[in-house]
Amino acid sequence: MSSVQSFKGLRRNISLAIGVAAAALFAASAASADSSNLTAANALTEMSPGWNLGNTLEAIGAGTQPFSVSQETAWGNPAATQALMTRVKAAGFKSIRIPVSWKQYADSSDTINAAWMTRVKEVVDYARAADLYVMINVHWDGGWLQPTFANEALADARLTKFWTQIGTTFKDYDDHLLFAGTNEVMVTGDYSTPKAEYCQVQHGFNQTFVDAVRATGVKNTTRWLVIQGFNTNIDHTLLCNSTLPTDTATGRLMMEVHYYDPYNFTLNTGGKIWQWGSIATSPANTETWANEAYTDAQFQKMKVNFVDKGVPVILGEYAASLRTEYDATGIYRNYWNKYITGSAFQHGMVPVYWDNGYLDNHQSGLFNRGAATEGFPATIDGIVDAAK
């Protein structure tokens, strides 16, 4: 281990000790903490980099719904803990995105089980106790948010009901808590350019979300709300979401997109594409598109159309899977993750890494969640250092 690595490890251990003490002091007053004064001008530096508690609170359980107990371990990850949140903060992350499933805990009238709401609140409080900004959403949730005219009325009614309950629960929390209305809304299986119908309905979901949250009052009247672009695809966002929802609060909406390009490198772990970018040495194992220049150009679109107009942008998910059968030390994975983080940050976007919780090959986990330790310190350092 180099002296630099030793210093970083010592720094993190000191930060962790301080964080544990701070968490204990914070636990009793999470909901009443002073406002963060989060603004469009400082959101980038206040929240970057971010980290996803993926495949946990949004995990869908097996069995008869609605559930009255947490299904967060259904996909193989351990339950979220204070120790994990404190470790994430000590590693250098400033914000956490917590994907959440709600429908599997709701009755036929869409009333969310009280025990589940309490558990979500507990996990949010863990993150706040670690001094992290927090984003919670209505995630995939079984796929009921289909953006079609046929499904619109049912989905809008449920979205209103859910966000009214969520908003009421968290109405006293300050600006460290952000709400994100939906996740990757699209017609299931249709990755083509969205029809006008799909754009209209998805835009309507965003409006429904904003209206429902604002109506719950107190600090929700001005809370930062995160609006998603269509399927979080950058080009589809420009097509469908150039106009933001109307809002009773001025300048309190953010836009969210995701980035997994090129797919054959980041997610297609059964393929032979395992190198990326200018450091690649084998054309046969390198995708022919979505290199550094393409990435910069895509992120520039978000900068020009949103950031430069005073609308902060969240890059809510991005990650490259581990490919140890080809790249034992993760050189290309680390390079992609660091480059995407740095380019996003330089283009004014808050980068929020997708950690799915698993440290095995073909996965994107960074932390050993059960032990609350770093699984890939070099990858973590690359991400944290790039967001400066």
Q: Among residues 72, 184, 256, 287, which one is catalytic?
A: 184
Per-residue tens of pLDDT for the chain, all 388 residues: 444 454 456 545 555 654 544 444 444 444 444 557 999 999 999 999 999 999 999 999 999 999 999 999 999 999 999 999 999 999 999 999 999 999 999 999 999 999 999 999 999 999 999 999 999 999 999 999 999 999 999 999 999 999 999 999 999 999 999 999 999 999 999 999 999 999 999 999 999 999 999 999 999 999 999 999 999 999 999 999 999 999 999 999 999 999 999 999 999 999 999 999 999 999 999 999 999 999 999 999 999 999 999 999 999 999 999 999 999 999 999 999 999 999 999 999 999 999 999 999 999 999 999 999 999 999 999 999 999 9
- The residue ranges of every structural domain in the chain are 3-27+43-386
Q: Among residues 46, 58, 256, 317, which one is catalytic?
A: 317
β-bridge pairing 95-98 and 50-52: parallel
Residue 122 appears among annotated catalytic residues: no
β-strand partners of 257: 315
Instruction: Give CA–CA dist 17/374, Å, rounded.
Output: 15
Residue 292 appears among annotated catalytic residues: no
CATH fold of 3-27+43-386 reads TIM Barrel (3.20.20)
Residues 6+ apart with CB under 8 A from 172: 31, 32, 218, 219
Instruction: Give CA–CA dist 153/159, Å, rounded.
Output: 10
Instruction: Give CA–CA dist 24/198, Å, rounded.
Output: 47
| Nearest residue to 220 (alpha-carbon basis) of 267, 158, 285, 175 | 175
